[in-house]
Amino acid sequence: MRTAPTSRCDRDGVDGGRSRGRSWALRPPLAALVALSITIATFAAPPARGVDLVIEAPADLEPVARRLRAMDPAGLERIAETLGLEAPGPPIQILLADEGTPLAQSAPAWVSGWAWGALGRVVLLPRRVPAYPDGSLGELLRHEVAHVLIARAAGGRPLPRWFNEGLAMVTAGGWGLGDRSRLTLTLLAEDRMDLDTLDARFRAGGGDIGRAYALSGALVHHLVRRHGAGTPAAILRGVRLGLSFDDAYTRAVGRTLESELDGFWRRLDFTYRWLPFLTSSATLWIGVTALFLLAARRRRERDRELEMRWRSEDEAMIRWNPSPPPADEVELEN
């Protein structure tokens, strides 16, 4: 569970870029300026500067802290660059908490880390085995730091949970064979769903959370693969400049999120449902058996046709070449 505490935007009553208290809209000149800024950010974003971490740990977890401090910072810099952050901001505070502390006791047993994006703080529980989508403590650290950088790239404004988690997965760990395998298993249990339902799965607990991660990561990976690596940075910049998430997405991509979701589900249906079935060994043997039965049926039909042809030829010969009369009849005539 990587749910951040309520941010200032949430307390002010902003939900997905739409104010609950009153409706608002960008004036045409301002909307054009936002669109131009998004385009410039997509194609001319300079490389991001380094991401600074301050890792704190109790004495018994200090060896773990030293290993994390020795990690290559290039991975975090690539995350910031992908998100369009020219300046990643102040140092991010990483706290390693031991079991038995109030922080560890306040989190469910399956939670191994979480982030406060608006505060720039991350809590990790090293004694717990990281759960999907993280396979190690290093991957967990990159994932949680990605949440902080995403919040900064969006200017602290709220983002849909599926986009936040999926983007952290794709930027921190990529999209590999393990994710595809998890997605295949997810599609065995899940049908098409809208984005509100996908967001709700993160609050359901149990196996729903793992499936929500797999679908969210697949959707963001689909967006990046289809529209380019600069798409997340363009969307986040639009949100930071005041657009709602849906409007920022439309400005950056050129199509609505609803139409994109429909294409995403069609691709999943073919790639992860029909294609594995069509190329599986069971399907191969079913196809071979069907061809054998079809060939046997065709052979029986040909034999039946040949037998009927021979029978008709025999009957024709009998009509035109009658057999000679018996010998006693011939003697009687004589």
Please classify residue 149 by burial: count the beta carbons closer than 10 Å to its beta carbon, then call 0-12 exposed, 13-18 middle and 19+ buried: buried
Please report the pLDDT score of residue 129 as a whole number. Answer: 73
Which residue range(s) make up the domain with 217?
A: 160-279
Domain final residue pick, 133, 153, 173: 153
Question: Looking at the structure, do residues 168 and 236 belong to the same domain, yes or no?
Answer: yes
In a domain, 334, yes or no: no
Tally the domains of the chain: 3
Residue 252 lies in a domain: yes
For residue 136, CA distances in Å to 12, 19, 243, 328 come to 37, 39, 36, 108
Residue 235, pLDDT > 70, answer: yes
Considering the domain architecture, whether residues 105 and 187 belong to the same structural domain is answered as: no
* Stretch among 66-75, 206-215, 272-281, 308-317 having the lowest mean pLDDT: 272-281
pLDDT of residue 13: 34
Strand boundaries in 88-149, DSSP class E: 92-96, 113-116, 121-124
Q: What percent of the chain has pLDDT over 90?
A: 45
Domain boundary pick from 107, 123, 153:
153
> pLDDT tier at 278 (50, 70, 90 boundaries)?
very low
Task: Tell me if the pTM is above 0.75.
Answer: no
Residues 148 and 90 both lie in one domain: yes
Question: What's the rounded Cα separation, in Å, for the pair 75 and 139?
Answer: 10
Same domain, 68 and 146: yes
Residue 202 contacts residue 165 (beta carbons within 8 Å): yes
When mean pLDDT is compared across 19-28, 148-157, 321-330, the lowest value belongs to 19-28
In a domain, 330, yes or no: no
Q: Are residues 214 and 165 in the same domain?
A: yes
183 belongs to a structural domain:
yes
Q: Which of 101, 132, 153 is the last residue of a domain?
A: 153
The pLDDT of residue 331: 55
Both 165 and 264 in one domain: the answer is: yes
Does any domain span residue 69?
yes
pLDDT digits (tens, 9 = 90+) for 172-189: 987 878 877 787 777 777
Q: Nearest-CA neighbor of 201 among 211, 188, 187? A: 211
What is the average pLDDT across 261-290? 64
In a domain, 225, yes or no: yes
